Amino acid sequence: MPIAILGPTASGKSAVAVALAQRLGGTVVNGDPYQALAGLAIGTGQPSLEEQGGVPHVGYGALPLSSRPNPDSFGVRVRQWLAAQQEPVLVTGSGLYLRGIWEQLTPMPEVPEALVARVRHWGQVLGSSKLHRFLQSVDPQRSVALHPHDSARVQRALALHLCTGKPASDLLPGTGTGMPPGWRVLVVSPGRDCRRQRVALRVADQIRRGWAQEVEGLVAKGHAPDLEALKPLGYGRWMTGGDPAEIEADIVRDTQLYAKRQATWFRNQCPQAATWDPDAEPLELAFLRLGFT
């Protein structure tokens, strides 16, 4: 029976997955598209060797930075990783890509690359906030679900609309699909204040480990276009430069907002999943709620 450990950024889900894999003699399998990309180890929070705890990890840094993962193709890749393991423990915080892994997505129309490039150019010229206001006018439902600074998804929603003449919200999968049968699922769910503190601590640790230098190295190797296209959280802010303290504050704020959206998604989309609060409950309780005694 496959196992999924879900939760927002900095919730501690990777540590839970490692502890469970140690107990089962299993393998941790990555379900986060950004952690799957090579070169983004620090800023995306790919587990270090120490954090891996001697447990095999699959799918971290496995794809070239030139990749452009989408939920369907990435879902196929993750299912291959899962099938190759005896006791896989899936870990992800991305609800949309989780649906791709669980094969719950409505097939998306193919958007011409020229149209994608045009919308991306609009974003560069006008800024993400103006594009978000445009999305509000053509697809109010999708605009509510997306933060104005989530430029990649805003641009994708507009490109889908321009390609099909329909709101992206009519094309994307609806709510309430829940969990597929046969999965054991745990949502790691810190309280609001603890979640915010965890994000701040994580960003500070990433900076101490050399996040700024990681970005500088990628830009020096010619990967700025990849970072601009992929828009992994925080990397663009380092590229714009400025006072390091202000950069850190901006990244913490944006990551806290993202973690809040993640927590809301899991609460609404996986209501039947077991939950566990890492700051208020012992780890053994997480195992019990997954059905392990």
Q: Are residues 219 and 120 in the same domain?
A: no
Is residue 262 domain-shared with residue 145, that is, in the same domain? no
Give yes or no: residues 187 and 166 share one domain: no
> Bridge-partner residues for 28, per DSSP?
57, 89
Residues 92 and 198 grouped into a single domain: yes
CA distance 196 to 6: 17
Answer whether residue 19 is part of any domain.
yes
| 203 shares its domain with 251 | yes
279 lies in some domain: yes
State which residues form the domain around 49.
Answer: 3-105+181-289
Same domain? For 62 and 207 the reply is: yes
Q: Output the CA–CA distances (angstroms, integers) from residue 252 to 11, 154, 222, 256, 262, in the order listed.
A: 14, 21, 27, 6, 15
142 and 74, same domain (yes or no): no
Report yes or no on 51 lying in a domain: yes
End-to-end C-alpha distance for the chain, whole angstroms: 15
Is 185 a domain residue? yes
Which of 171, 193, 208 marks a domain boundary? Answer: 171
CB neighbours (10 Å) of residue 129?
12
Say which residues have a Cβ less than 8 Å from residue 62's Cβ, sequence separation at least 6.
30, 36, 38
Q: Are residues 211 and 236 in the same domain?
A: yes
Domain contains 143: yes
- The SS3 call for residue 6 is strand
Query: Does 72 share its domain with 117?
Result: no
Give yes or no: residues 72 and 190 share one domain. yes
Q: Model pTM greater than 0.85?
A: no
- 176 within domain boundaries: no
In sequence order, what are the residues at sequence separation of 6 or more whose Cβ sits closer than 8 angstroms to the Cβ of residue 4? 31, 89, 90, 91, 92, 98, 183, 184, 185, 186
In a domain, 151, yes or no: yes
Q: Are residues 98 and 203 in the same domain?
A: yes
pLDDT in tens, the chain (293 residues): 899 999 999 999 999 999 999 999 999 999 999 999 999 999 999 999 999 999 999 999 999 999 988 898 999 999 999 999 999 999 999 998 999 999 988 776 778 888 888 888 898 888 888 888 988 898 888 888 788 878 878 888 888 888 888 888 777 654 445 788 899 999 999 999 999 999 999 999 999 999 999 999 999 999 999 999 899 999 999 999 999 999 999 999 999 999 999 999 999 889 999 999 999 999 999 999 999 98
Residue 190 lies in a domain: yes
Q: Verify that 101 and 117 share a domain, yes or no.
A: no
Q: What is the CATH number of the domain that holds 151?
A: 1.10.20.140
* DSSP per position, 250-285: HHHHHHHHHHHHHHHHHHHH-TTSEEE-TTTS-HHH
CATH of residue 51's domain is 3.40.50.300
Count of structural domains within the chain: 2
